[in-house]
Each structure stands twice: as structure tokens, then as C-alpha cells.
Amino acid sequence: MGDPVDLSIPVNPHTGLPRAWYKGPATAEPVRSDGWIGSVAEGGSVNFRDISFNPHAHGTHTETHEHIQDTFSPIDALARSAALPFIMPALLVDAPPSSTDENWVVERPESMATSLKQWRPEAVILRCTNGDLLRNWSDTNPPFLAAGFAEILVEHDVRHLLIDLPSVDREVDGGILRAHNTFFGPPEAPRPGCTISELLCVPNTVQAGVGLLAMQVSAFVNDAAPSRPLWFPAEILERAG
């Protein structure tokens, strides 16, 4: 079938990038206890490090509706169930942001509704940037989804939304979280099994269109966890017959 395209950015305590949401860099520190040290470089027998990071702030991550609702719906349980298929039909969409006053907003591409109706993908991947993602996003007011964008995804029963930005919503919006709330549904009627993945890296060399998406999610009992989306473009599938 050929090699898939890795769409993830790792949690990197060595460079501290990317990061967002006013968090400092992820860190890795050797354990020090009773004269013992978990660092080979410092004379220890093994490397044994404590890692500190935030799933939402320090790399590609996938979240459930627990992120915005007072409910216990951890991503680990979802990833271990059939609600999050290991591989699923997906649509990769180019959605460059446009300037509106002081904001950059991701408007819905005109052709997207037709593609959603034609292909009925379970997942939609939005490529909004040029791939320059290894940065500190805090206090930069990154682009976010325009009103109506999440609504049309829900209308076409898209279950998994992936984006190469820190969030589908504005960095500071007073807690409205329009796109999150629309996509996950209200607390009294949530959309079960849906996920949002953020801070992806979608290479410019990857052709937009249909393909398959494989979701690999770290085993964390939390509303979100680091993840590794893998993209199988249509041309790979065609070569495989």
C-alpha cells in the first residue's frame, strides 16, 4: 500500500515547541532519589525521567466532549471501543484563513458541502496553515473556524474533526466555544463517539481530497491525549488496487 503520512507533532521537551494556552514548554527531568539519579549522562545506570506536559498545549492531541462538559468520557475508553475506528474514510480539505478586521477566520470552502455529500467521510482534516507550526501560539490570536463551519460538518454527520491549529475556536472568546459546542453537541444531547484533534501538521506536499485516516491515540484516561493521525492518500490506495 505504501507509506502513510504522519500528521502529528510530538510532545518535545527538548525544544519546548510547539506550545499554546499560556503554558511553558514540556519538560523532562531525571528522577533523583536517595543518592540515585535517573540519568546516564550524570552517572546513573539508566535514563529514568519525569515528563511534564499538557495534552492540549504541547503537541497533536485528540479530545472528547469531556473537554467542555462535566462528564466522564475519557479518550482512552473511546479509543478502545468501536466508536473510534482504527481506520476510516476521510476528506482532507484546504481551508486557508482570511482576514476579517483583527482576526483570521477559517471560512468554509465552497466545494466542501458537495464533497461531504458525495463521499460521506467519517472524518474531515482541515489544512489551514503552511506547516509552520513549531511556535509558541499563546497570545497570538490564531485563526479559528467561522460561524457555520462546524454546523455543516454536523449536518453531514462528520464524527471526527482534525485541524492544524491550536483550536477550532478563538483563543479568547469568553468561554463561548461555538465550534466545540456545535460539534460535540449540548450536554443534554451529546454526539457520542465524536472527537476533535488539534495541532496537527499536514504537509503541503499531501494532495487534498479523499483517503483513509488511521487514528492512534495514547493510552491516557483523560479528556484528551497525545495522538498520531496517519493519512493514506487516495493515490496510495489506487496503487494498492
The domain tally of the chain equals: 1
- When mean pLDDT is compared across 84-93, 103-112, 115-124, 228-237, the lowest value belongs to 228-237
* pLDDT grade for 101, boundaries at 50, 70 and 90: confident
| pLDDT surpassing 80 at residue 150 | yes
Any domain includes 157: yes
Any domain includes 37: no
Question: Which whole number is the average pLDDT over 88-113?
Answer: 95
* pLDDT grade for 131, boundaries at 50, 70 and 90: confident
Any domain includes 27: no
Q: How far is CA 72 from the centre of its chain?
A: 20
Give me the pLDDT at residue 1, please: 45
Can you give the residue range of the structural domain that contains 75?
Answer: 5-10+55-240
| pLDDT surpassing 90 at residue 27 | yes
Quick: pLDDT tens for 158-201: 999 999 999 999 999 999 999 999 999 999 999 999 999 999 99
**CB distance 67 to 61 below 8 Å:** no
* pLDDT grade for 102, boundaries at 50, 70 and 90: confident
Any domain includes 29: no
Which CATH number does the domain housing residue 189 bear? 3.50.30.50
Residue 28 to residues 25, 40, 226, 228: CA-CA distances in angstroms? 10, 14, 16, 21
Any domain includes 39: no
Among candidate residues 87, 90, 140, the one with its CA nearest the CA of residue 115:
90
Record the cell numbers describing residue 234, joined without a space.
Answer: 487516495
pTM here?
Answer: 0.95
Give me the pLDDT at residue 235, please: 65
Main-chain dihedrals φ then ψ at residue 38, nearest 5 degrees = -90, 55
Among candidate residues 178, 150, 217, 181, the one with its CA nearest the CA of residue 67:
181
Any domain includes 16: no
- Which residues, in sequence order, are CB contacts of 103 under 8 Å at separation 6+? 141, 143, 144, 170
Record the cell numbers describing residue 43, joined without a space.
Answer: 552517572
